[in-house]
A and B are shown apart, each in its own frame.
Chain A
Amino acid sequence: MNSQMTDKTPSPRVLVFACRWCALVGADAAGRGKAELPASFRLIPVECASMVEPDSVLRAFASGADGVAVMGCHLGGCRFNDANHVAVKRMEALGDLLDTVGIGRRRLLLSFGTAHEGRQFAEVLEAFFRELAPLSSLAAWQKPLLNQPSFR
């Protein structure tokens, strides 16, 4: 899938927050299975999806990401007493904010329990890249933001 993406247009840049109990295991299995994925995503392991601050997601968009993925365990399977149920609500609310400011909630992928195996992780990420491909890059307004001294 990525030949059409990498050859002409640069592939969208995606920051993945992966819960280490499921999505990180999925990412690891995708690596061991040698799935072929676009090299333009970066992964930050977190202890639980509920640890991801909405602020971090906004910061990621401001730092050059075209898309952000928050990946946690399936609802009802959280290690931390259903902490991810609250995380889902929080991230859905963040989607409203993204719509309001013009980034759009399509650029925020919420995956709960859909990426805990290697093949699934690869499929979820590939689908997200396909979703982002037709959207324009956010780089135009990220540059001035990034150059602000307060942000550096």
Chain B
Amino acid sequence: MPGVIAFLCRCCGEIEPTVDLPALRERIGREEGVAAVELRDTLCLPEDRAAILKAFEESGADRILLAACSPYGKVGNVVAKLSAACGNDRSRVRLIDIREGCAWIHRGDPAGATAKACDLMRMGLGFMRHGKQSADAVVSVRPECLVVGAGSAGLAAAGSIARAGYPVHLVERGAAGGGMVKLLSHVYPTDAGAEERLAPYLEAIAENPLITFHGKTRVAAATGYAGDFKIRLASEKGEKNLRVGTVILATGAGVWLPRGLYRYGELKEILTLMELERRQREGKAAAKRTVFIQCVGARCPERPYCATICCPSSIKNAVLLRKADPDAEVTILHRDIMTPGHILERYYRSALEAGVRFIRFAEAQPPVVLGEGRVGRVEVFDAISGLTREIEADQVILSTPLVANADNAKLAELFHLPLDGYGFFREDYPLHPLETRQAGVFICGSARWPVASGEAVTQGEGAAMKALSILGRKEISALSMSRLPEGKLGHARIEDGSCSGCGNCVAVCPYGACALQPVGGVFVSRANKMRCRACGSCTSVCPNGTVQMPEHNARAVGAMIRRAFAEGDAR
């Protein structure tokens, strides 16, 4: 019966003084199933690989056990290359860390370190007896994309995908596209008219035959996986079923009304920024004296975040008011002006040049709006000069933050996505800003965080590129559905016959990969290989061991645990 060949690494003397390698070699050589044990100075150099393979072939063994440095060390790369020689079976090569995990941390206890190294190697041998590799699954990709939301981000995403030649279904809950930009008069920092800015995007959806626009429609149901999502759309006209390869969520954000703050709703001429935008569009915004109050309901305990768009929006409107009437007095009361980057910083400076007055107040001493029936004055403690100022005002503009779209919760439930504490979609942690935990589902624009329309377009196009990386392929493999360079560990496997249909795995799966399905009159669970990301949650709740990760199955782990303290039995 083929066995295991073990290689011990001296690591040029890094391991040896603490771990007694000849003794380790002798003890491991006596273990059942060990064909040979070799001791080498190094294992990580290119010439070592040839020597390892030569010894492996001569020994007649079918598995390789390496005892060297940690998988994060140099020898970590060797494992993948050696598994190629074992029929691309990663379960047949195992690396035991006896340097970082043993020799280097137990220098004061050589006997204990040697016993530990011996136990660790036995654990590895036990594991290899039962460890297996998941079989990959390949699915063909439906070359169509669903974009939810036809604001700046959604329009940009849909346009990019259609230009690349793939059909797009653009779903919008309103009657027409345009999103929040439609509510604006101008768009910062170029101060282009909002309609002018939207025109080319709206034209694209009207003219490109690859884009199907579904107005007044919502996503009612979603199942499936990257490459083949089954979507049900619902509208007044009825339901419609789609099959798409990828999904882009561009639901945008919602506005927030500052009820009860700064006498909003009580006095006339206290407006939110959005209401001012409407007046600007209608040409009714002019006022002799205007005061903006920033951070209304933002950067406070309930919403500790900065919504990023309110400072530049106030600056835009302040300058527009000054340009319309050079005699108008415009004051911005702020806690900090948030205009990052060279473009917005220049934008802020242009407001100073245009004669907009900025006064800083402290969070603890917010301004007070005075007046009866309508706005009269605003009293503010100037945090820089230390003086209390009274500013005459004909209108007061409250800068409120964007808040999450109320529809996000429903979509998050449908696609098994996490939301952050404020209801925005959470990006895939870490460093994958446009991707979500669900492979094939992407987020962009204010659905993930409040952004201005320019940034939303950037993100929409980025998300489109991410989606195209799936749409552009004829088929995708389940083991590639991972952000990791080394791919996914494996995927959960549910044995037929022993599943009792309890549904524990369905309840615990963070990706909605497990689902109960009727088979032969009873419900049993099935794990979807495309959705599974190999966390192993299901394996730890299965009452009868039906769900297993082949790479980390209960027998292999049990074999490790049983051997963990075998050598230390002398106590």
Contact = CB atoms under 8 A, between A and B. Distances in A.
A44 B540 contact: no
A51 B535 contact: yes
Residue among A39, A43, A45, A47 facing the most chain B CB atoms (10 A cut-off)? A39
A103 interface: no
B192 to A, nearest CB: 40
A98 interface: no
Interface in B194-241: none
A61 B61 CA distance: 34
A136 to B, nearest CB: 13
Contacts of A77: 429
A47 B109 contact: no
The 3 closest A-B pairs by CB, nearest first: A31-B100, A51-B536, A39-B112
Contacts of B116: 39-40, 42
A39 to B, nearest CB: 3
B539 A86 contact: no
Interface string A41-67: 011111110111111100110011100
Given A39-B115, A42-B116, A77-B429, A60 B107 contact: no
Nearest to B114: A39
A135 to B, nearest CB: 15
Nearest to B570: A10
21 contacts: A3-B108, A6-B108, A27-B100, A28-B72, A30-B100, A31-B99, A36-B108, A39-B102, A39-B109, A40-B568, A42-B564, A47-B534, A47-B549, A51-B539, A56-B557, A63-B564, A63-B565, A64-B564, A83-B508, A83-B537, A90-B540
A59 B535 contact: no
Residue among B123, B508, B536 facing the most chain A CB atoms (10 A cut-off)? B536
Given A32-B104, A63-B561, 12 more contacts: A11-B112, A31-B99, A31-B101, A36-B107, A38-B106, A39-B115, A44-B557, A48-B535, A52-B540, A53-B540, A60-B561, A81-B437
Given A31-B70, A86-B508, A60 B539 contact: no
Contacts of A65: 564-565
A59 to B, nearest CB: 5
B416 to A, nearest CB: 8
A80 interface: yes
A107 to B, nearest CB: 14
Given A42-B119, A79-B429, A83-B510, A34 B537 contact: no
A35 interface: yes
Contacts of A151: 562
Interface of B: 70-72, 97, 99-102, 104-109, 112-113, 115-116, 119-120, 123, 416, 418, 429, 437, 489, 508, 510-511, 533-537, 539-541, 549, 552, 554, 557-558, 560-562, 564-566, 568-569, 571
Nearest to A91: B540
Contacts of B565: 13, 15, 42, 63-65
A14 to B, nearest CB: 10
Residue among B70, B508, B534, B564 facing the most chain A CB atoms (10 A cut-off)? B564
A15 B71 CA distance: 19
Contacts of A34: 104-105, 107
Contact of B552 (A27, A31, A47, A79): A47
Contacts of B508: 50, 83, 86
B537 A48 contact: yes
Interface of A: 2-3, 6, 10-11, 13, 15, 25, 27-28, 30-32, 34-40, 42-48, 50-56, 59-60, 63-65, 77-83, 86-87, 90, 137, 139, 151-152
A148 to B, nearest CB: 12
Nearest to B484: A79
B548 to A, nearest CB: 11
A80 B554 contact: no
Residue among A44, A54, A78, A87 facing the most chain B CB atoms (10 A cut-off)? A44
Nearest to A5: B109
Nearest to B103: A31
A56 B115 contact: no
Contacts of B552: 46-47, 51
B109 A82 contact: no
A117 B109 CA distance: 23
A39 B557 contact: no
A1 to B, nearest CB: 11
B510 A53 contact: no
Nearest to A50: B537
B540 A54 contact: yes
Nearest to A122: B105
Contact of A60 (B115, B416, B418, B564): B564
A80 B535 contact: yes
Contacts of B120: 42
Contact of A56 (B99, B108, B558): B558
A13 B568 contact: yes
Nearest to B106: A39
A151 to B, nearest CB: 8
Contacts of A55: 554
Contacts of A32: 100, 104
B123 A42 contact: yes
A46 B536 CA distance: 9
B435 to A, nearest CB: 12
B105 A37 contact: yes
A44 B120 CA distance: 9
Contacts of B562: 59, 63, 151-152
A51 B540 CA distance: 6
A17 B315 CA distance: 54
Given A42-B120, A51-B536, A64 B568 contact: yes
B108 A51 contact: no
A56 B539 CA distance: 11
A42 B512 CA distance: 34
Contacts of B115: 39
Nearest to B73: A28
